Amino acid sequence: MRLRRPGRLRTLAALMGAAAVLAAGCSAPEEVVVVIVTTPGAAQSQVTVPASSEPSAQPTSPTTQSSLSLAKAIRIASSPKFESKDVGPKEPFTVTVFAGTIKDIAVATSDGVPVEGGLDEKKVTWTAKERLEYGTKYVVKGTAVASDGSTKPIAGSIATVNPSSTVRASFQRPIANGETVGVAAPIILTFFESIQDKAEAQRALKVTTDKGEIAGSWGWLQDEDVQGNGQKYSFAHFRPKDYWPANTNVHVEANLRGVDYGNAWGREDIAADFKVGRSQVVKAEISSKRLIVIRDGSVVENYPVSYGKEAEPGRNTVSGVHVVTEKYPEFKMCNPEFGYCNIPEKWAVRINNNGEFIHHNAEVEKAGLLGVANVSHGCINMGGADAQEYYRSALYGDPVEVTGTGVPMTEADAIYDWKYSWADWKKLSRLNS
């Protein structure tokens, strides 16, 4: 007679009970999961089965548990971070949802002015489409939603810096007035204080043309005390690699509002549209005693002239690419070093700020020295009819290429942008890296 093993029988009974449950489960509307755990020699085997199918007897459903966990998994971040203070208005403002998407979002100033923005294709990041204002609080409200439909509120705010003062900037005339200029005219942007972070300012500058992209670069020239009152200004110039293409429409903009200069903030955005006219390049080789005008690639004039007297220091016409900046029907010349002042000369075209002009000189013309000898005090002297004709043809920004003297142009001779090779000019940019 064999003895029974109670543990084995209890296990068998449990299996039979489980089979009954499985059989009953075949007619249930939903799949059930049964986990059977047996322990040989244990007092009782454990069987895990679903609870009663009655609604009142059901535990928290898997769907409800999933909803709670997905909602809690949503994370919301902004750049700049919510509650940030003294934010720069030019900083991009974004709100991003992780482990979910943005159902709705509204961004507005604290007094209710909405901020235009947009969602990306995946609806996880909202980005402001407009720059922020100084001294303003921005409030964000919205809803993030998980994949199961559970939601989480989006809420936060940031505040922008409120500077006590800002720095004004402007483009130099005649470009600021939209006039037609010569092919060597640089774009000159003046900051009415000395700014520290010139690289950040340069990132806000943009030049476009109707001829497509043109090789060119911004260069920062030396800060100067223009007014002589101890207040230095900063200057950024843009020049092409070579001269501008003739008959080109140019647009320049400086989106400076909200730019952090390190020691100050940008006041406003400015822009200008101007036209580069015909190409007129003057060739002025000292030893030739001639002034050759090349217009749109063809020689149109070949004038007899007199350049500075090289035998006497201080009377040379300096070598380099000069740029026409002003012209006067009559201008009073003054050079105390050589004993004259307030001498009226007609048809005066300024090509340098060191006193060099192209102008009529009646005495030199009367003496028959034009095309014969260089006797001026640095200016380019012409006959009356020739000077008037050239005067009428000259535009701000026309290049006058002086060669053949032993005195090169320096930083003291404005506009001196073209004294630099292209490689050296690019070194004046603050965005070379």
Give the HSE-up count for residue 30: Cα atoms under 13 Å, Cβ half-sphere: 10
Cβ count near 55 (within 10 Å): 6
Measured over the CA atoms of residue 172, residue 176, residue 181 and residue 186, the dihedral's sign is: positive
The reply to whether 237 belongs to the active site is no
Pairwise CA distance, residues 211 & 247, whole Å: 9
- Phi–psi pair at 187, nearest 5 degrees: -85, 125
Contact present, 93 and 79 (Cβ < 8 Å): yes
Catalytic residue among 322, 360, 377, 379: 379
Contact present, 299 and 293 (Cβ < 8 Å): yes
Beta strands at 94-98 and 357-360: parallel, antiparallel or unpaired: unpaired
- Of 200, 195, 110, 124, nearest in space to 160 by CA: 110
Pairwise CA distance, residues 410 & 417, whole Å: 10
- β-sheet with 216-224: strand ranges across: 169-171, 187-191, 233-240, 216-224
4-20 burial string, b = 16+ CB within 10 Å, else e?
Answer: eeebeeebeebeeebee
Pairwise CA distance, residues 105 & 136, whole Å: 19
DSSP conformation letters of 220-283: EEEEE-SSSSS--EEEEEEEESSPPPSSEEEEEEEE-TT-B-SSSBB--EEEEEEEE-S-EEEE
The reply to whether 341 belongs to the active site is no
Catalytic residue among 237, 322, 359, 377: 359
Q: Which amino acid appears at position 401 of this protein?
A: E
Pairwise CA distance, residues 239 & 218, whole Å: 7
| Four-CA torsion 138, 143, 144, 150, nearest 10 degrees | 160
- The token duo for 300 is 């149109």
- The token duo for 37 is 């755990």
**SS3 labels along 157-215:** EEEECCCCCCECEEECCCHHHCCEECCCCCEEEEECCCCCCHHHHHCCEEEEECCCCCC
Active site positions, annotated: 359, 379
